[in-house]
Structure 1
Amino acid sequence: MTMPTLTLISHPLCPFVQRAAIVLLEKQVPFHRINVDLGDKPAWFLAISPTGKVPLLQVQDAYGAEEILFESVAICEYLQETRPGPGLYPDDPLMRAKHRAWIESGSATLEEAWGYLNARDQASADLKAASLKDKLAQLEKILGSGPYFAGEAFGMVDAVFAPVFRYFDVLETDSTESLFTDFPGVNAWRKALSARASVSAAVSAAYPALFQAHLQRQQALLMKEI
């Protein structure tokens, strides 16, 4: 049976796109990638994206029928259920439910990290840093011996948190590094994720420069440290 042709509709900086790309790469699934300018969204993109956001996964079967999937978690779960390769969830239903809960927490952690990184003044940065540290403290409590979220096996929770930690790998300022000082388990986890081939390949070589350029345009306080 011929597997569907996949196209990932993307933006170079989107962390939610990275989730899908990491899963595709972990499962060694061939795919095409098309980047869109979210500041000037093309008509064809708006016609197929219910939310006007990325990622989208365009699935075309052997007969040419086309479907569009949206929302990163839905895309990742589709890939988990339909593609061979390593399983990214535990077999046990209770543990699987716990992992899905931490995936939801990953989205909340991403929101706090984004607010901190884009803060333009010290008061806003301090507020977001405190919220982010609360999230990291919760992670520190439940992490095991690593190197990944659930131990030796890379999983869906890792795919969700890797794009969050990538921001800090790119910047590595005194302020960003200090966020992880009290969380050695989380710090070791983020370094293991950074070294993972699928995580590295989920973005282009231009990603660090593009992200820093974004922060410059936002007049982010952190850019004064670089």
Structure 2
Amino acid sequence: MPLPTLTLVSHPLCPFVQRAAIVLLEKQVPFERIDVDLSHKPDWFLAMSPTGKVPLLQVDAGHGAQDVLFESMAICEYLQETLPGASHYPDDPLARARQRAWVEFGSAALGDAWGFLNAKDAVTGQQKAAAFQDKLAQIDKVLGSGPYFAGDAFGMVDAVFAPVFRYFDVLDAAISAPLFAGVPRVQAWRRQLGARASVAAAVSADYPALSRAHLQRQKSWLAQPMDA
């Protein structure tokens, strides 16, 4: 059966979009990517997205059959279940459920990271930093020798955490390095994910500049130190 035509509706900075893009790139299937200006959402996008958010995945199976998926993990699970290539979950049901739980944990870590980056003041930023560091300490306890979350095989937990770690690649090392102090397994994992081809290709080359511009527009407490 031929593969469907896939279109990923995207935003250049969205970490949830990156999850889906990483899985698509790992599966090595062709797809089109369309970026949307979320500050001026087009009518066609609002008509497709129940939440008004990205990502969306348009799935065209041919013969006039087209569907739209929303929510990043629903999209990733669909891609995992329908596309060829290596599985992003283990076969064992218990191990698979465990990894899905860490996927949820990754979403919580993403929320703390986002709060840290976009905080308007140092007090709020430091509170979010502490919450993020607590989550890093939790996951450092369960990581093995790597290079990925479950060992040699790149999986869904890796696809979820890679965009979280990317946030900190655009910051000055004096800001980002202390957050990862004391979690050596996480540090090694972060480096490995950053070097993976699918992770690198999930964003455009101007991602760092776009990210810094976003923090400046949001009047983030980090914007001034980054420019200093």
**TM-score bracket for this pair, using the shorter chain length:** over 0.9
The match for 1:99 is: 99
Q: Distance in 2 between matches of 1:127 and 1:42?
A: 36
Q: Give yes or no for the alignment of 1:34 onto 2:34.
A: yes
- The aligned amino acid for 2:26 is E
Normalization by structure 1: what TM-score?
Answer: 0.98
- DSSP 3-state at the match of 2:3: coil
- Which residue pairs with 2:158 in the alignment? 158
Q: Alignment partner of 2:191: what SS?
A: helix
**Preserved contact between residue 3 and residue 62 of structure 1 (Cα < 8 Å):** no
Equivalent positions of 1:43-122 (< 5 A) are: 43-122=43-122
Separation in 1, partners of 2:10, 2:175: 30
Contact 1:27–1:85 at 8 Å: present in 2 too?
Answer: yes
Q: Is the 8 A contact 1:173 1:225 kept in 2?
A: no
TM-score normalized by structure 2? 0.97
C-alpha distance in 2, partners of 1:158/1:121? Answer: 31
Structure 2 gap segments, 5+ residues each: none
CA distance in 1, matches of 2:116, 2:173: 13
Work out whether residues 2 and 62 of structure 1, in 8 Å CA contact, stay in contact via their aligned partners in 2.
no
Which letter does structure 1 place at the counterpart of 2:60? Q
CA distance in 2, matches of 1:140, 1:71: 27
Q: 2:170 — aligned with what?
A: 170
Q: Secondary structure at the match of 1:138?
A: helix
| Cα displacement (A) at 1:122 | 1.3
Percent of aligned positions with the same letter in both sequences?
69
Q: In structure 2, how many angstroms separate the alpha carbons of the residues matched to 1:176 and 1:107? A: 19
Q: For 1:116-169, what per-residue CA distance to the aligned partner results, in whole angstroms no more than 9, with x for missing partners?
A: 011121111111111111100100100000111011110000000000000111
1:194 Cα deviation (Å)? 0.3
Where does the alignment leave 5 or more consecutive residues of structure 1 unmatched?
none
Superposed counterparts of 1:129-208, under 5 Å: 129-208=129-208
Tell me the number of residue pairs that the alignment of Structure 1 and Structure 2 aligns: 226
| Aligned-pair Cα RMSD in Å | 0.8
Cα-to-partner distance string for 1:173-207 (whole Å, 9 max, x where unaligned): 31211100111110110110000000000000011
Deviation (angstroms), 1:224: 2.1
8 Å CA contact 1:19–1:72 kept in 2: the answer is yes
